[in-house]
Chains A and B, each alone.
Chain A
Amino acid sequence: MSLPGTKRRKHAAFALAFLMLFTLLSGCGGSGSQADTQNSGKDANNGSGPNNAAPSEVSYPLQTDASKPLTYWAEYGSVKATMEEVPFFQEWQKRTGIPLKFVSPPAGQSRDSLNIMLASGDLPDMIEYDWFNFPGGPEKAIAEGYILRLNDVIDKYAPNLKKYLQANPDIDKMLKTDSGSYYTFPFLRGDPLLQVYQGPIIRQDWLDELGLKVPETIDDWHNMLTAFKDKKGATAPLSYIFQSEFLNNGAFIGAFGASHTWFQDNGTVKFGPMQPGYKEFLSTFRQWYAEGLLDKSIANVDGKALDTNITNGTTGATVHNSGSGIGKWLPLLEEKDPNAKLVAAPYPVLHPGDVPMLGQKDPVYTTGTNVAITSKAQNVELAARLLDWGYSEEGHMYFNFGQEGVSYEMKDGEPVYTDLLMNNPDKLSPSQAMSLYIRANYGGPFVQDKRYITQYLALPEQRSAIETWAHTDVDKYKLPQITPTPEEASELAQIMNDVNTLVDEMTLKIIMGNEPLDAFDSYMSKLKTLGIDRATEIQQAALDRYNNR
């Protein structure tokens, strides 16, 4: 090449040398500052106070320095743009006397933004998150130094939670890890009525018209769906969101003695998709799909598609929630057809009179919205006092019902929500209005009150649905909230990622006829090569440890 070319190349060489130098320098600087942050703020729970000492009581509101707010990270959806504007959070600070600064991730991205926040090491004082399902488990979150082990903190500063745990040893057991660490201020369901909210839902008016009764067995379901298709012109008689949230709760699958996930049988852990019953389930659904009883787009159904299917009469049966299902669809249906009715059906079984093996039932300790105090917390005592307030009598009423005279009134000694919530003047739906004044419909650090649900489920259909769905053996078969050790947890996650990919893929492929039913057997042997036996071992060990807690 010509001279200018070589000249240019020399420039480039020089520039490159420059860059290398820069890279080296900045590399060293960065690493130093990273290392510094590692040890700070870890000492808060090092002193091991005596376990039986009664924690000190305080009277709220506390006298605190208003210029030093605690930072609180949470995902919270409401009609307000920020959490600061939500009246609930304003009044919470007033009542406890503790100023707060809120940090929220964009809606639906809590996992991603928590990920980034943790990776940056720049943590707020408190984080409201599903710490039970933190990758690697809560023990790992503590061991990595993100959140504090709360045992001493609870002993010293959380008299109300402490009292509750002492009175409820079975719940106490759920909240700890195997090694006895507390890690969050939990959200707890205060009544069995609050634990069940999901199950099969059917068009009652279609049943009446066709002279059918609410189906009980798989055969009844087949008859009913066929009638829906032939006589009501439903093109997707049965349609539901075919993803783990709905599959794991066991509708249909449970009838065959299997599950879509882990379950226990007399203390033995089993993986549902490996049970012979799972193949029967696949074979039945495969047949239903071929007969046009199951939504042709089953792999693609999401909430929006389901709403459309239900409201335009494409679908006559589904599996969904009482609140966001029945409560949402019934008014929409009635607008189009005054006779339209929805009814809850029991979880299907094989033989009349059987008790369904599985069904949706949340544990008392639902893990979604639990508040941890981070290792970077500036004032651990203040954070603990704030969170403990939710378990006090005043806090209980406040979290569940809000402010007296604003969001509820006492009538005959019972709190009754006002029209501000139930019949909002600004045309907000009850759940939208509630999210501004209470947290009973959202979870958080408190015990949920059953007097919330009896008022929230406004329709009689919704209330009877819960009774219908609650009648299952799920307590016997569902795994309790077991915690693998951090090492086991990462091994388990490694295995289950491949396993879940395979199960999801094969389940749908077999049902939709893309793979023959016999493919089930070869896919079982693939599960073995993916290490499912090792995963079962880990789960079994964790269950044994749980039972020995």
Chain B
Amino acid sequence: MNKTAFRAKLIRDFVTNKYLYLMMLPVIAFYAVFNYAPMYGVLIAFKEYSPLKGIMDSPWVGLHHFTTFFESYYFLRVLKNTLIISVYSLLFEFPAPILLALLINEVRNKTYRKVVQSATYMPYFISMIVIAGLIRDFTDSGGVINTIYAYFGGDGTAMLQHAGLFRPIYILSEIWQKAGWESIIYLAALMAIDQEQYEAARMDGAGRLKQMWHITLPGILPTIVILFILRMGNLLNVGFEKIILLYNPVVYETADVISSFVYRKGLLEFSWSYSTAVGMFNSIINLILLVLANWLSRRITSNSLW
């Protein structure tokens, strides 16, 4: 298509849909002001930022902060830990709300269903500090889990002191805290499935399991795919508050992630430029993963974000 035709089409489109464009304005303004305007702040990743000099007048240092991060003795370890925790959460945490939604969907008793649903999404509303406190208490040497374990002959030391247990504790508690809440969106998707399909399937002699496999799952597949892609875009954003609250030097080996490392180094040392550089690195990887996941899913399922 040539240029003039494009412009003519654009203008025509603008005229016919002028109210749509008008309605879009506040939304654009919102993103411009709150999401795009602050973006020029990433400049400080390439500068030695000093607030009183301002972003523009702080001296340039090029890729200094990035190389400092890459050359850090612990760079590979924190990157590895971040990736592993992210992949684990993708493998175990992501399917959990889907399973829960499927199970809840099979419950026919309305009251019981409500109770289960409320009980499972409740933990989501507890503050992170309290959650971490609960986890510490449960896994402590005198805590519930260890008391039971000691009864069967275990040694009962605090579980958060074992490097090998940190990731399971982290992932399991994430599931406990979030699966209920996240299952709500799947339950909503389930509501949208046409009930006649089930009737037809039953006529054809499909059992409960077959119905779930051939109707329910394909029904919510688009939702699953979209959420999966969105999730890929956040893959490296491991919840650092929780890690900081739970870890200690003995489990650094498996628990120290990019964000907690930056917290110890960047924020506590007031090195804004450094933290920004690391944050930017994190975002770039996330962006690559997001694009990749989107491309893959378009190829495989023909569902995609764009």
Please state if A37 and B54 are interface contacts (CB–CB under 8 Å): yes
How many angstroms from the CA of A419 to the CA of B54 in the assembled complex? 53
Query: What are 21 contact pairs spanning A and B, CB under 8 A?
Result: A18-B32, A22-B36, A23-B37, A26-B32, A26-B33, A30-B40, A31-B55, A112-B267, A118-B51, A119-B51, A144-B50, A299-B160, A300-B140, A300-B160, A497-B264, A498-B72, A501-B264, A502-B73, A507-B249, A508-B248, A508-B250
Binds B, one of A7-15, A178-186, A322-330, A470-478: A7-15
The answer to the question of A375 belonging to the interface, with a C-beta cut-off of 8 Å to chain B, is: yes
Please state if B36 and A505 are interface contacts (CB–CB under 8 Å): no
Chain B proximity of A524: nearest CB distance (Å): 15
The answer to the question of B39 belonging to the interface, with a C-beta cut-off of 8 Å to chain A, is: yes
Please state if A115 and B39 are interface contacts (CB–CB under 8 Å): no
Given the interface contacts A14-B10, A514-B163, does A35 sit within 8 Å of B57 by beta carbon? yes
Residues of A contacting B: mostly: helix
Task: Tell me the total A-B contact number using a CB cutoff of 8 A.
Answer: 137
Given the interface contacts A112-B267, A297-B157, A297-B158, does A501 sit within 8 Å of B252 by beta carbon? yes
Interface residues of B in 213-259 (CB under 8 A from A): 248-250, 252-253, 256
Name B55's contact: one of A18, A30, A145, A507 (CB within 8 Å).
Answer: A30
Interface residues of B in 12-59 (CB under 8 A from A): 13, 24, 28-29, 31-33, 36-37, 39-40, 50-57
Chain A positions within 8 Å of B55 at CB level = 30-31, 34
Size of the chain B interface, CB-CB below 8 angstroms: 49
On A, residues with C-beta under 8 Å from B are: 7, 10-11, 14-15, 18-19, 22-23, 26-27, 30-32, 34-38, 111-112, 115, 118-121, 134-136, 144-146, 296-297, 299-300, 305, 375, 490, 493-494, 497-498, 501-502, 504-505, 507-509, 512, 514, 526, 529-530
Q: Mark B259-286, 1 if CB is under 8 A from A, else 0.
A: 0000011011111100000000000000
Please state if B28 and A22 are interface contacts (CB–CB under 8 Å): yes
Chain B proximity of A142: nearest CB distance (Å): 11
How many angstroms from the CA of A34 to the CA of B49 in the assembled complex? 12
Please state if A497 and B265 are interface contacts (CB–CB under 8 Å): yes
Chain A proximity of B132: nearest CB distance (Å): 12
Chain B positions within 8 Å of A30 at CB level = 37, 40, 55
How many angstroms from the CA of A111 to the CA of B36 in the assembled complex? 28
A40, closest chain B residue (CB): B52
Chain B positions within 8 Å of A14 at CB level = 10
Please state if A38 and B52 are interface contacts (CB–CB under 8 Å): yes
How many angstroms from the CA of A264 to the CA of B141 in the assembled complex? 39
How many angstroms from the CA of A211 to the CA of B72 in the assembled complex? 54
Chain A positions within 8 Å of B197 at CB level = none
Please state if B32 and A19 are interface contacts (CB–CB under 8 Å): yes
How many angstroms from the CA of A490 to the CA of B250 in the assembled complex? 27
Chain B positions within 8 Å of A490 at CB level = 271
Chain B positions within 8 Å of A35 at CB level = 53-54, 56-57
Chain A positions within 8 Å of B28 at CB level = 15, 18-19, 22
The answer to the question of B161 belonging to the interface, with a C-beta cut-off of 8 Å to chain A, is: yes
B56, closest chain A residue (CB): A31
Chain B positions within 8 Å of A34 at CB level = 54-57
Given the interface contacts A18-B28, A38-B52, A38-B54, does A501 sit within 8 Å of B37 by beta carbon? no
Please state if B52 and A498 are interface contacts (CB–CB under 8 Å): no
Please state if B250 and A144 are interface contacts (CB–CB under 8 Å): no
Please state if A23 and B39 are interface contacts (CB–CB under 8 Å): yes
Name A115's contact: one of B52, B140, B270 (CB within 8 Å).
Answer: B270
The answer to the question of B202 belonging to the interface, with a C-beta cut-off of 8 Å to chain A, is: no
Please state if A119 and B272 are interface contacts (CB–CB under 8 Å): yes
Please state if B163 and A530 are interface contacts (CB–CB under 8 Å): no
B136, closest chain A residue (CB): A300
The answer to the question of B74 belonging to the interface, with a C-beta cut-off of 8 Å to chain A, is: yes
Chain B positions within 8 Å of A497 at CB level = 264-265, 269
Given the interface contacts A23-B36, A26-B36, A375-B52, does A300 sit within 8 Å of B248 by beta carbon? yes
